[in-house]
Amino acid sequence: MYLKSTPGGAGPSAADATATDRQALLAGVARLGRMWLERIPAADPQREHLIRMGILAESLMKTGDRSPAAMTTARMLLCANCRHLDAAPKECAGQALDRCPLLRASGP
């Protein structure tokens, strides 16, 4: 039995998530973006980052890009926004999306 090794050194958590899980994680990122947009003032410059995060998550869902690089980009945008908004001050440690407490809490 031969196990395919992934070139490029993808992290173990990224390799563990199935395509369906990743689709759900991206949907969760888009949903959090919309939720946060409703909570912050209309003039908050952070809106631009939230909108960008939503656009990225939705375009990844459309194109079907589930590469570790795509998931990492989505995670970095989510964490940057989450920290700025202080959404999970004690729980966010920049972990992978499948271990993000915000996505777990908001998921089904």
Neighbours of 93 (CB within 10 A): 10
* Contact status: 29 vs Zn ion (CB under 5 A): no
CB of 32 to Zn ion, least distance (A): 10
Instruction: Give the SS3 label for residue 93.
Output: coil
* Contact status: 103 vs Zn ion (CB under 5 A): no
Contacts with Zn ion, 52-81, as mask; x by CB under 5 A: ---------------------------x--
CB of 78 to Zn ion, least distance (A): 6
Beta strands in the chain (DSSP E): none
What single string gives the DSSP state of each residue in 9-34? ---HHHHHS-HHHHHHHHHHHHHHHH
Residues making contact with Zn ion (CB under 5 A):
79, 82, 92
